[in-house]
């Protein structure tokens, strides 16, 4: 009960903030916090997870709302909520396909870059309300282009309220933070100050809130925008999955338990479908709410359900007070969230980590802010994976050796060394070990030119832990070339599966059962006999 109550106190100001920031209204943030929290708690796979609208999800939702309303003013908002429903559907599909454990298999530099980029976006989008003006169209770029005009028309009272909010959020003593969230302190104190000290001044406030039960928003879309909506939904769904899975890992570490990834994705998907259906913001597992819940003693899904009940009572019982909250206060809370989202741990040590990771992180950050989230993540993952494959390939290439006499680098025992020496350079021993991925195919190709100088080729795969299809085809080319040159080939392979793969993959195979052996010693003996028979 204490965990749910504490989480609700944290959720209320954030829900209002994200609702207003998204352009969908404070009600959308409240409905999202209630509906997603309820369904994710009941059907999710992380008992202590608190699900609600989050900074990253709000940033994407803001872009969706803006673009769809601009394209279709009449039905744009309904289409935006349809995107939320589709995002939930994608999450359920990911869960049913059991993709939960793969969601977070993304390079840290990419995750850091797009999370920091989202933090920057959230901060920049609050400039207009912080200065006492309405947000310009065009998102981040629109705000930056309008910055001279915004600065020329500052409403000093609202800037003061914004600054006071930030002071409370950043400088509330730690002993007070343990008992009362700074967001709630700022929300109440600055709102009270604005009512009594600046009652005669025109201050932008939340305004009237509809406290009736939410109406259903039926899916709405136009034929021309189906593709755009599906792409937006996929981005929203993926971001929600990543956000939730990362928070679930944090919950596991705090409670020493293990969450059920796929079940959690299904629960999150159901929550987002229902939230979109009733005009709520999309949401995901929220780190702040989850940590507060656990620290207050929450250990089961009951804490999430109690949080929802507390929110319902607070919203329907204090709607008239919520209407008086200045938008500048919510802007301050959103800026603090944006600052917290920034990956300061990476930024502070960027000069110490590899140059590649630093470049990827900042490139993804800039692409997220100024281009598009999906483009940023796609390019970041592609570049990071290419670099990783290049490094792995360079490392694994060292495990490819071609030798015709004994040296200190080979894996042979004394008997095998003696056999290779007796062949007097007529046998090429081709040794591979470890995981053979497609990136090392060039290293294999480089060794092909030495085949013509030997009579017998022994290919030793006994220490190979993984052999992908590209390497299998490269080996097939080596074997075919050797046989076409009249050379004898023996392959050392420990498993029937490996033998079958070499025989069956490709156009044809010139290997027969007599070309295979499971013993390195037996292969060298057969090679020596073949050499002695010829000479």
Cα angle value 484/432/479 (rounded, 5°): 10
Helices (H), 23-107: 26-43, 55-71, 76-96
- Region of 449 please: left (phi>0), alpha (psi -120 to 50) or beta: alpha
74 contact partners, CB below 8 Å, separation of at least 6: none
Q: Which pLDDT value is given to residue 365?
A: 92
What digits encode the pLDDT tens for the residues 190-215?
999 999 888 778 888 888 777 677 77
Q: Which pLDDT value is given to residue 405?
A: 58
User: CATH fold of 398-534, please?
Assistant: Transcription Regulator spoIIAA (3.30.750)
Cα angle value 342/23/52 (rounded, 5°): 55
What digits encode the pLDDT tens for the residues 101-131?
777 677 888 888 888 998 899 899 999 999 9
What pTM was computed for the model? Answer: 0.77
What digits encode the pLDDT tens for the residues 342-393?
888 888 887 777 788 889 899 999 998 998 777 887 888 888 888 877 777 6
51 contact partners, CB below 8 Å, separation of at least 6: 36, 37, 40, 41, 44, 244, 267, 268, 271, 283, 284, 285, 286, 304
C-alpha torsion sign, points 145, 146, 151, 156 = negative
DSSP-assigned states of every residue in 325-361:
-BHHHHHHHHHHHHHHHS-HHHHHTTTTS-HHHHHHH
- Where do the structural domains in the chain lie, given as residue ranges? 2-343, 398-534
What digits encode the pLDDT tens for the residues 227-270?
889 999 998 999 999 889 988 988 888 888 888 999 999 999 99
What digits encode the pLDDT tens for the residues 286-335?
988 998 899 888 989 999 999 999 999 888 888 888 888 899 999 999 99
């Amino acid at each position: 009960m204490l965990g749910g109550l504490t989480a609700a106190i944290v959720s209320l100001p954030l829900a209002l903030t994200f609702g207003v920031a998204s352009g969908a209204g404070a009600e959308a943030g409240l409905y999202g916090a209630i509906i997603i929290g309820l369904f994710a708690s009941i059907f999710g796979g992380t008992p202590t997870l608190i699900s609600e609208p989050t900074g990253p999800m709000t940033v994407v939702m803001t872009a969706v709302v803006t673009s769809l309303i601009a394209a279709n003013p009449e039905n744009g908002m309904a289409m935006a909520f349809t995107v939320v429903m589709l995002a939930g559907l994608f999450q359920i599909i990911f869960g049913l396909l059991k993709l939960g454990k793969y969601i977070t298999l993304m390079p840290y530099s990419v995750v850091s870059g797009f999370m920091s980029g989202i933090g920057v976006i959230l901060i920049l989008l609050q400039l207009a309300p912080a200065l006492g003006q309405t947000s310009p169209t065009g998102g981040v770029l629109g705000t930056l282009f309008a910055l001279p005009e915004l600065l020329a028309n500052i409403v000093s009272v609202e800037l003061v309220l914004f600054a006071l909010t930030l002071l409370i959020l950043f400088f509330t003593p730690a002993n007070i933070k343990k008992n009362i969230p700074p967001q709630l302190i700022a929300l109440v104190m600055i709102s009270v100050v604005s009512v009594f000290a600046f009652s005669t001044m025109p201050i932008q406030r939340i305004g009237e809130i509809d406290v009736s039960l939410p109406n259903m928003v039926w899916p709405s879309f136009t034929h021309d925008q189906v593709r755009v909506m599906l792409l937006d939904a996929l981005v929203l769904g993926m971001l929600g999955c990543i956000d939730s899975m990362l928070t679930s890992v944090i919950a596991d570490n705090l409670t020493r338990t293990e969450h059920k990834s796929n079940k959690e994705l299904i629960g999150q998907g159901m929550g987002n479908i229902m939230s979109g259906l009733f005009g709520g913001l999309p949401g995901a597992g929220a780190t702040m709410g989850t940590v507060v819940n656990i620290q207050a003693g929450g250990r089961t899904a009951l804490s999430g359900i109690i949080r929802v009940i507390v929110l319902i009572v607070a919203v329907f019982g204090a709607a008239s007070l919520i209407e008086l909250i200045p938008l500048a206060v919510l802007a301050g809370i959103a800026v603090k969230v944006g600052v917290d989202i920034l990956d300061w741990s990476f930024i502070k040590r960027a000069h110490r980590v590899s140059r590649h990771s630093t470049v990827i992180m900042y490139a993804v950050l800039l692409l997220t802010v100024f281009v598009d989230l999906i483009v940023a993540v796609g390019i970041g993952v592609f570049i990071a994976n290419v670099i990783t494959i290049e490094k792995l390939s360079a490392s694994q290439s060292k495990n490819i050796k071609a030798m015709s006499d004994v040296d200190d680098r080979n894996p042979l025992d004394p008997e095998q060394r003696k056999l290779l020496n007796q062949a007097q350079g007529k046998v090429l021993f081709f040794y591979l070990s470890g995981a053979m991925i497609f990136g090392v195919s060039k290293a294999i190709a480089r060794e092909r030119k030495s085949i013509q100088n030997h009579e017998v080729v022994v290919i030793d795969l006994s220490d190979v832990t993984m052999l992908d299809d590209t390497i299998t085809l490269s080996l097939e080319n080596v074997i075919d070339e050797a046989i076409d040159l009249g050379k004898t080939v023996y392959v050392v392979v420990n498993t029937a599966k490996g033998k079958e793969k070499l025989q069956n993959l490709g156009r044809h195979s010139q290997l027969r059962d007599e070309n295979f052996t499971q013993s390195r010693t037996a292969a060298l003996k057969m090679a020596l006999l073949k050499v002695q028979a010829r000479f």
